[in-house]
Amino acid sequence: MTSSGDGAPLFAVVMAGGAGTRFWPLSRRSRPKQLLPLAGGRSLLAATVERLSPLVTPARTLVVTSEAVRGAVREELPGIPAENVLAEPEGRDTAACIGWVAWRLARTSPSAVMVVLPADHLIPDGAALRSALSAAAATAYARGGLVTLGLRPTRAETGFGYVEVGDAVGTAGAHTVHAVRRFVEKPDLETARRFLESGSFRWNSGMFAWTVAAIEAAIREHLPELASGLDRMAADAESEGEAAALRRHYPSLQRVSVDFGVMEKAAPVWAVGVEFAWSDVGSWGGLAETLPGSPAGVAIGDVAAIDAERSVLVSDGPLVAAVGVRDLVVVATRDAVLVVPRDQVQRVKEVVEALRAAGREELL
Amino acid sequence: MTSSGDGAPLFAVVMAGGAGTRFWPLSRRSRPKQLLPLAGGRSLLAATVERLSPLVTPARTLVVTSEAVRGAVREELPGIPAENVLAEPEGRDTAACIGWVAWRLARTSPSAVMVVLPADHLIPDGAALRSALSAAAATAYARGGLVTLGLRPTRAETGFGYVEVGDAVGTAGAHTVHAVRRFVEKPDLETARRFLESGSFRWNSGMFAWTVAAIEAAIREHLPELASGLDRMAADAESEGEAAALRRHYPSLQRVSVDFGVMEKAAPVWAVGVEFAWSDVGSWGGLAETLPGSPAGVAIGDVAAIDAERSVLVSDGPLVAAVGVRDLVVVATRDAVLVVPRDQVQRVKEVVEALRAAGREELL
């Protein structure tokens, strides 16, 4: 199946532009999280693209990344045509990224349905994801409007955004379809517990589906400044080629997320209910909850763990020998080693800031 | 002063043959503890030899090490004549090492006094050490018998051996001299507390002084098998050179420590009382008690510590970034990283054993 089920061509847009520091020292400017081998030996990006097959063909798989890592992304995805790896001159958040692709498809495949996925999530069950994307694409085609995959919460998670949904308005494949009432930012613990109990809240997965026409219309309505920039960029791309147009216009496109700039304001928005195991792999600590592990925790690479418990031990080079450690994260590369208690992993930011302040550019 | 005070030439014997694994991964077979830069940027060995000056001349400083590291030891000690760096074909414990040097000196300087020191101890106050060695040498010359430096205990330490001493029988320089009643193996905590309170126990420092004649006589009396081996080796060294004689005889010399084989059985044994700060640098954890540190603990090499407490952070290559750690030891080299709670540092042995069992020879 390579269409939305009604003959409209189905394109996947994999957003691989992220650059964060939460996986330092394994992640660097030249190798962001989505390129790390966190998906059972493969990169998160490669695993994401592989999961799309056979729902979406390589020719219709578009990967948006940054200039800095375009070469690495192409190497990571030998099955994807080189011209399908698109590089932003600089990151302008997800609305600009999605708008760029939508405006391009409006010229080449105006009847297309797009599914949009982050490159750095972990979803072990590829068939379940394809079933959900297929249902979302069919919903986008049949009902119009914008569609989000709404994950059924399995815990009172305070680290994700939520959508509140109404009763099911129908089904798509094996999935229920709901109208989205509202988007909710990350809640506090009590609110998250209430959401979990109520049954009418879903995790906002950051995975979407829509027709090219629907997302273009929504951007024109809710982000007219972004739409104007995309129009100018598209016009110049026609006359002088896309590379020059990108360099001139992309860095000044409106910077806003598609969630805040479009989804929270648009109507109708549909949520397709899904229940597969999913992680946004937010931190070294989170990895332990995601990957199959032993009581020792998670070990990746050349690790010798003796009497370790609930720890995340990662090597990208030197042997990591950990003895008697508890709830500890150790990440070792050729030139840097991070050691931090698992409940403080977010403090890796402080290390990165200290290194930047000290001019240790070679380690960033 | 380069004699024992009465014209007898004073030789120092620095025992640098150790090979232990307690400082893995920094220590390797090719770079044992005494060659590690644990003495404020210098190696323990270099600091030990420097502390002897000007009491003992370089020409009378003998360093006994192993074949495997003789080259590294020579490089570490450019001021010591190359022929003064003696290499054991294999380690046969301290009695054989001391006997070998005594039998050599019996031929070349039969009236010599020897002071014997391990290469891997940390003694910040060099003048205090020289004062003590000078007193021990004078005592050995004046009273005969064997002399040990007896450190006044400052805590109920269970990791050291002790000597029980009688009332002072006199003084040497600024030091009291006592007859040793008995040697005591590492005590339990209650016994160590009793020793500390009694005032008549000293730590056995492993530093000795004696005339060549006295140690030769003691070895002949208490270790006749070793003495026979040393006699045969000396005879063959005369006829065919020392290298060939060493290879033939040294590996079968009786293997026993000078403490157990000689000191515990000999009489008289004198203890010269000393009180300087001293550490045998027994482990990564012990280093924190020895080196000047901050509340964060000890940092050696390229270390970025953020909110660390009571930790030992050591780099011999990669940056070590530690955040929020407590009572932790982290040692990073180019090819191996050790992480272990400070109260479990002795378990580094388990790592080394596991690596050996796994055939990871390159890491040993």
A288 band by pLDDT with thresholds 50, 70 and 90: low
Which of chain B's residues have a Cβ under 8 Å away from the Cβ of A320?
Answer: 337, 339
Structure confidence by residue, pLDDT tens digits, A197-226: 999 999 999 999 999 999 999 999 999 999
Q: How confident is the prediction for chain B on average, in pLDDT?
A: 93
B337 CA: distance to closest CA in chain A (Å)? 5
Chain A CA closest to residue B320: A337
Tell me what the mean pLDDT of segment B180-199 comes to. 94
Cα-based angle A107, A108, A110 (whole degrees, multiple of 5): 70
The reply to whether residue A340 touches residue B324, judged by beta carbons under 8 angstroms, is: yes
Instruction: Tell me whether A357 touches chain B (CB under 8 Å).
Output: no
Which of chain A's residues have a Cβ under 8 Å away from the Cβ of B334?
Answer: 318, 334
Tell me what the mean pLDDT of segment B102-124 comes to. 96
Tell me what the mean pLDDT of segment B198-214 comes to. 96
A6 band by pLDDT with thresholds 50, 70 and 90: low
Return the half-sphere exposure (C-beta side, CA atoms, 13 A cut-off) of residue B133: 29
Altogether, the residues listed in chain A come to a count of 364
User: Is A47:A353 a contact under the CB 8 Å cutoff?
Assistant: no
Which of chain A's residues have a Cβ under 8 Å away from the Cβ of B317?
Answer: 335
Going through B85-161 in order, the beta strands assigned E by DSSP cover 85-88, 113-118, 146-151
Instruction: Tell me whether A333 touches chain B (CB under 8 Å).
Output: yes
Structure confidence by residue, pLDDT tens digits, B269-292: 999 999 998 888 878 877 766 655
pLDDT at A289: 65
Q: What are A188-192's contacts with CB under 8 Å, separation 24+?
A: A188/A158, A189/A156, A189/A158, A192/A156, A192/A157, A192/A158
Instruction: Tell me whether A41 touches chain B (CB under 8 Å).
Output: no
Which of chain A's residues have a Cβ under 8 Å away from the Cβ of B306?
Answer: 347, 350-351, 354
pLDDT tops 50 at residue A339: yes
Going by C-beta distance under 8 Å and a sequence separation of 6 or more, which residues neighbour residue A187?
A: A158, A162, A195
B21 CA: distance to closest CA in chain A (Å)? 14
pLDDT tops 50 at residue B331: yes
The reply to whether residue A321 touches residue B347, judged by beta carbons under 8 angstroms, is: no
Instruction: Tell me whether B364 touches chain A (CB under 8 Å).
Output: no
Percent of chain A with pLDDT over 90: 83
Structure tokens at A93: 């958040």
pLDDT tops 90 at residue B5: no
Tell me what the mean pLDDT of segment B313-318 comes to. 93
Mean pLDDT comparison of A284-293, B1-10, B158-167, B221-230, highest-scoring range? B221-230
pLDDT tops 90 at residue A84: yes
Point out which residues pair with A338 in neighbouring strands: A331, B321
Which of chain B's residues have a Cβ under 8 Å away from the Cβ of A336?
Answer: 318-321
Count other C-beta atoms under 10 Å from residue B233's C-beta. Answer: 23
Count other C-beta atoms under 10 Å from residue B46's C-beta. Answer: 21
Structure confidence by residue, pLDDT tens digits, A105-148: 999 999 999 999 999 998 989 999 999 999 999 999 999 999 99
Tell me what the mean pLDDT of segment A183-194 comes to. 94
pLDDT at B65: 96
Pick B155 or A18 by higher pLDDT: B155
Percent of chain B with pLDDT over 90: 82
pLDDT tops 60 at residue A5: no
Structure confidence by residue, pLDDT tens digits, B129-169: 999 999 999 999 999 999 999 999 998 988 899 999 999 99
The reply to whether residue B323 touches residue A25, judged by beta carbons under 8 angstroms, is: no
At A312, the amino acid letter reads: V
Q: Could you tell me how many CB contacts below 8 A there are between chain A and chain B?
A: 114
Instruction: Tell me whether B107 touches chain A (CB under 8 Å).
Output: no
Structure confidence by residue, pLDDT tens digits, A54-80: 999 999 999 999 998 999 999 999 999
Structure tokens at A337: 């080693």
CA distance B47 to B39: 7
pLDDT at B1: 41
Among the listed residues A288, A287, A338, A304, the one whose alpha carbon sits nearest the alpha carbon of residue A36: A287
CA distance B24 to B6: 44
Tell me what the mean pLDDT of segment B258-277 comes to. 95
pLDDT tops 70 at residue B320: yes
> Is the peptide bond prior to A54 cis by the omega test (within 30 degrees of 0)?
yes
Which of chain A's residues have a Cβ under 8 Å away from the Cβ of B321?
Answer: 25, 336-339, 351, 355
The reply to whether residue B318 touches residue A337, judged by beta carbons under 8 angstroms, is: yes
Which of chain B's residues have a Cβ under 8 Å away from the Cβ of A306?
Answer: 347, 350-351, 354
Among the partner-chain residues B321, B339, B363, the one whose CB lies closest to the CB of A322 is B339
Structure confidence by residue, pLDDT tens digits, B23-43: 999 999 888 999 988 887 789
Going through B237-333 in order, the beta strands assigned E by DSSP cover 269-274, 297-300, 303-306, 311-316, 319-323, 328-333
Q: How confident is the prediction for chain A on average, in pLDDT?
A: 93
B330 CA: distance to closest CA in chain A (Å)? 8
Instruction: Tell me whether B357 touches chain A (CB under 8 Å).
Output: no
Which of chain B's residues have a Cβ under 8 Å away from the Cβ of A363?
Answer: 319
Least confident range of A277-286, B181-190, B252-261, B339-348 = A277-286
Q: Which of B22, B333, B337 to mutate to test the interface with A (most CBs of A within 10 A)?
A: B337
pLDDT at A291: 59
Among the listed residues B95, B89, B96, B134, the one whose alpha carbon sits nearest the alpha carbon of residue B115: B134
Instruction: Tell me whether A335 touches chain B (CB under 8 Å).
Output: yes
Q: How far is residue B33 from each of residues B22, B24, B38, B361, measured CA to CA in Å?
A: 8, 9, 8, 18
A350 CA: distance to closest CA in chain B (Å)? 8
The reply to whether residue A319 touches residue B340, judged by beta carbons under 8 angstroms, is: no
Going through chain B in order, the beta strands assigned E by DSSP cover 10-15, 61-66, 85-88, 113-118, 146-151, 162-172, 175-184, 201-211, 269-274, 297-300, 303-306, 311-316, 319-323, 328-333, 336-341
Instruction: Name the pTM for this structure.
Output: 0.80
> Is the peptide bond prior to B58 cis by the omega test (within 30 degrees of 0)?
no
Please tell me whether the interface predicted TM-score (ipTM) of this complex is above 0.90.
Answer: no
